[in-house]
Structure 1
C-alpha cells in the first residue's frame, strides 16, 4: 500500500505554523489524536488505580492499555513493560540494579556509537563496582560498528554489553542479532538503546536478541517519557529498592510513585496512530485485538488476554504494514537528501553505513554548523546542530564536541520540506 503523506500531515496541528521540521531525532511533532487522548484522560474522572469507581477504573485501564500497546510495538510481553521518566533515567536505574552483582574484575562493554545515556550510566556503575569498562569502536570512515568490534572484547568476566540499535547521530543500524549471539554466547546480558531505532524500524525483541530494550514515545509521535521492555522472568531476578507498602509485582516494582495516566493514554494513542499510517482513515481505527482488556494475574501484575489467531486487523500486523510503508517513504526522501547534499559545496556527510535510518549528519567546509542552523531558521527550516549527547561518536568522527548539522525525517516529512532544506542550504552556503 502506498504511503499517503498528505493524510499523515493533516494529523499534525503543529505543521500549520509553516515550518519544515527536520528535528525528529530529538522528538517528533504530536498528532491531534495523541493530544486529544491526553486531554480526555486528564479531564475525565481520574484517580489512583482501583476498581471501585469510574475514576479508579479509568486509571487502571490507562495502565493496562499502555502496556498492551507497547508490547504490540516491541513484540514483547506487557508484563515486561516498565514506565520511566526518560530512557536516561531507566538506564541509570537499571545500571544500579544490575551492578549490584558486579565485582572487581568483572567487565562491561559500551560503544562509541551510542548516545551518552547508554554509555555514562554503565561507566559510572562499573567504577563504583570496581569493574572494567571496554569501549567498542565504530569505523569513522564508514560509520559501521562491526560485530567483531564487540565480540573481540567479550570474555568470561563480561557481565553486560550496552549498544544502540541505531545511532541518533549518524543513523547507523548495527547487526544486533549477530551482536546478541556473541554476547549471549559469552554469558552476558545485552542492554539495547532503541530510542532512535523505534522511530524508523519496528522493534522485535526476539529477533533483536535484546535482554533490555528502551525507547521513548516522544520520538515516535507520543508524549515525553521512557519505556523499558524486558522478559518478565528477567525482571523477576532484579530487586530494586522500593517503598514497603508498594507492590513487589513485575513490572510495577520498578515504577516509583503514581504513574502519569494521561501520558500513558497519549502513548497508547501514538502507537495506534503509527498502526494506522498505512491504512485508510476508516480502517485506521483501533480494532478489538488492540484494545482487549488485560486482567490482573495472581501476583497483582497484569496478564495479557489469551492470544487470538493473528489477523490482518491485529495491531501488530497493522504496525508491520505501516512501518513497511513508512520505511519506503523515508528511504525515498533520504535518497533525495543525500543526492542533494552531494551537490552542495564543501559538504561532508558522515552517515554512511550500509543500513541506516533517514538521519544525516553533515559538516560544511568553512561554515559552523550552528550558524547554518540559525540561518536556516530564518527561512522557517529547523535543522539543529550539535553532538546531540552522542559525545563519544562526535569525537570519534573527529568533530570534537561541536558535532555537525543533523537532518532527520519523520512520518510527516514530504518532498516540499526536502526542497526547502536543500534550497535553503544552497542559499546560505553561497
Structure 2
C-alpha cells in the first residue's frame, strides 16, 4: 500500500501549526495542489462562459472538468448529472422547491432523525406549504443507528420523497441505503441522499446506493467551499424544471445553477479529486481506477485510527460516548465529559492544541433523540490526514479533563 500519512500531511500547509485538526466533519483543510489550482486559474484569467475568446473557453473547460471529476468521485454514469451550488443546504432547498411543485394534500415525505437538518427542514417546510404529511424515521438512541425497517415502514403509495443520510455528521452511522432507495423507487418516490459526511469516508458508487440524488460538499474532502448534487441518471434532471431566469440556459444541469459558477473554485474541485486519487502512490490507471485504490487505502488508515479513538474513549472514566454503531460508521465520535459543558470541553482542548467541534452540529433531530438536547456534545472527527499521534493527544487531554 502506497499510502503514507506523513507524506500526505506535508501537503497541507495548515497542519504545520502543530495543532491536531480533529474537526474534519466540520470541514477539512486544503492541500497545496488545490491552493495552486485556484491561484493558477485566477492568474491565467477567467471570463464568463459563452464568449469567443480564450478566457471564456477556459472557464467553460473548467466547469466541464469539474463535472467529470465529481462523476468519477461518486461513480456517476454521466458528468451531465452533476449540478453545482454554493452549499449542500442551498442545493437541497433548490431541489425541494422544484420537487414539491407537484405535491398535494395527502402526499407524504419521509425524513429521519439521523440527518443533518439540511436534509430535514427543506423537505418539512415545503411539505407544510403543500399540505403534505411528514413522516419521521426514528434512530436507535442506544447505538445511534437508523434501522432500515424504521424507514421502510413509513414509505407508502403517497410518498413523494425519501430524504436520508448516507452517514451521520454527528455519530458517524452509515445506514444500509439500498433497501430504502429500492423501496422508494417501487412506489414512485424520489430518494435524496445526503452524502456530505459519507463521501469523504467511503468509495462511493451511486449504482450501489441507488439514490436518485446524492449530495456532496467538496470542503469535506480537501476541496474548496462548494457543493454538488449528483443525479443517479441525467434523465431525472431532464424531467425537473426549477424556477430560473428567462434567458438562463434551458439545458440541464445548467438550468439548476443560478447565476455564474465560481470557476476558480471549480478548478480547486478538480485538483481535490486528483489529490484524493493520488493518496496511494501505487495507484495507476484512469482517475476512477486510481480513486478506487486510493480510497481503499484511506479507509484502512481511517479504520485503524477509529478503532484507537473508540476504544480509547471507552476506557476513559467520566467520558460518555453517544451512539456507538455496531455496523459501518465514519471515524467520528460524539461524547460528553461528566460535569463539563461541551463548549467548555472544546475550549479546554483548544488551549491544548486540539481542534474539535461542540454543540448540536445541526443534527437537530438527532441530539434530541439521543437525549442530550440542543447543548449537544463534543465531536471529534478524523480525516485522511489524521495521525495516530493526533488521537493519542486527544485521549490524553480528555483523561486529564475527566480526572
Within the alignment, does 1:74 sit opposite 2:47 as a pair?
Answer: no
Q: Which residue among 334, 355, 358 is the counterpart of 2:331? A: 358
Give me the whole-angstrom Cα distance separating, in 2, the residues matched to 1:397 and 1:265.
Answer: 40
Please give the residue correspondences for 1:169-318 in structure 2 after superposition, counting only pairs within 5 Å. Answer: 169-230=170-231, 231-279=233-281, 312-318=284-290
Segment drifting more, 199-208 vs 389-398:
199-208
Q: Which residue among 379, 386, 394 is the counterpart of 1:421? A: 394
Deviation at 1:3, TM superposition (A): 2.3
Aligned twin of 1:132? 133
Give me the whole-angstrom Cα distance separating, in 2, the residues matched to 1:267 and 1:141.
Answer: 38
Report the secondary structure of 2:339's partner residue. Answer: coil
CA-to-aligned-CA distance 1:156-177 (integer Å, 9 cap, x gap): 1111100000000000000001
Runs ≥4 residues deviating over 6 A: none
Give me the whole-angstrom Cα distance separating, in 2, the residues matched to 1:62 and 1:45.
Answer: 12
Aligned twin of 1:21? 21
Contact 1:214 / 1:228 at 8 angstroms: preserved in 2?
Answer: yes
Contact 2:82 / 2:253 at 8 angstroms: preserved in 1?
Answer: yes
Give me the whole-angstrom Cα distance separating, in 1, the residues matched to 2:30 and 2:102.
Answer: 41
Q: Which residue among 317, 321, 324 is the counterpart of 2:293? A: 321
CA-to-aligned-CA distance 1:366-398 (integer Å, 9 cap, x gap): 121111111111111111111100010000000
Aligned twin of 2:111? 110
Please give the residue correspondences for 1:5-16 in structure 2 after superposition, counting only pairs within 5 Å. Answer: 5-16=5-16
Aligned twin of 1:50? 50
Give me the whole-angstrom Cα distance separating, in 2, the residues matched to 1:101 and 1:324.
Answer: 41
Segment drifting more, 343-352 vs 203-212:
343-352
Number of residue-to-residue matches in the alignment: 400
Alpha-carbon RMSD across the aligned residues, in angstroms, is 1.1
Deviation at 1:351, TM superposition (A): 3.5
Contact 2:141 / 2:323 at 8 angstroms: preserved in 1?
Answer: no
Contact 2:109 / 2:161 at 8 angstroms: preserved in 1?
Answer: yes
Give me the whole-angstrom Cα distance separating, in 1, the residues matched to 2:245 and 2:349.
Answer: 50
Deviation at 1:51, TM superposition (A): 6.0
Deviation at 1:244, TM superposition (A): 1.5
Aligned twin of 1:94? 95
Please give the residue correspondences for 1:365-384 in structure 2 after superposition, counting only pairs within 5 Å. Answer: 365-384=338-357
Report the secondary structure of 1:371's partner residue. Answer: helix
Give me the whole-angstrom Cα distance separating, in 2, the residues matched to 1:397 and 1:53.
Answer: 57
Segment drifting more, 210-219 vs 237-246:
237-246
Contact 1:199 / 1:219 at 8 angstroms: preserved in 2?
Answer: yes
Give me the whole-angstrom Cα distance separating, in 2, the residues matched to 1:207 and 1:160.
Answer: 19
Report the secondary structure of 2:134's partner residue. Answer: strand
CA-to-aligned-CA distance 1:342-372 (integer Å, 9 cap, x gap): 1212222124211100001011221211111
Q: Which residue among 292, 311, 318 is the counterpart of 1:339? A: 311
Give me the whole-angstrom Cα distance separating, in 2, the residues matched to 1:221 and 1:422.
Answer: 25
Give me the whole-angstrom Cα distance separating, in 1, the residues matched to 2:356 and 2:30.
Answer: 18
Contact 2:337 / 2:345 at 8 angstroms: preserved in 1?
Answer: no
Report the secondary structure of 1:163's partner residue. Answer: strand
Deviation at 1:155, TM superposition (A): 1.2
CA-to-aligned-CA distance 1:225-266 (integer Å, 9 cap, x gap): 110000211101111121111210111010111110000000
Report the secondary structure of 1:100's partner residue. Answer: helix
TM-score by length of 2: 0.97
Deviation at 1:69, TM superposition (A): 0.2
Contact 2:305 / 2:388 at 8 angstroms: preserved in 1?
Answer: yes
Report the secondary structure of 1:362's partner residue. Answer: strand
Within the alignment, does 1:60 sit opposite 2:60 as a pair?
Answer: yes
Give me the whole-angstrom Cα distance separating, in 2, the residues matched to 1:350 and 1:267.
Answer: 34
Contact 1:114 / 1:163 at 8 angstroms: preserved in 2?
Answer: yes
Give me the whole-angstrom Cα distance separating, in 2, the residues matched to 1:91 and 1:400.
Answer: 25
Give me the whole-angstrom Cα distance separating, in 2, the residues matched to 1:5 and 1:357.
Answer: 18
Report the secondary structure of 1:316's partner residue. Answer: helix
Give me the whole-angstrom Cα distance separating, in 1, the residues matched to 2:2 and 2:112.
Answer: 37
Give me the whole-angstrom Cα distance separating, in 2, the residues matched to 1:132 and 1:74.
Answer: 32
Aligned twin of 1:348? 320
Deviation at 1:186, TM superposition (A): 2.1
Q: Which runs of 5+ in 2 are unaligned?
A: none
Q: Which runs of 5+ in 1 are unaligned?
A: 284-311
Give me the whole-angstrom Cα distance separating, in 1, the residues matched to 2:359 and 2:85.
Answer: 26
CA-to-aligned-CA distance 1:85-118 (integer Å, 9 cap, x gap): 1000011000000000100000000000000000
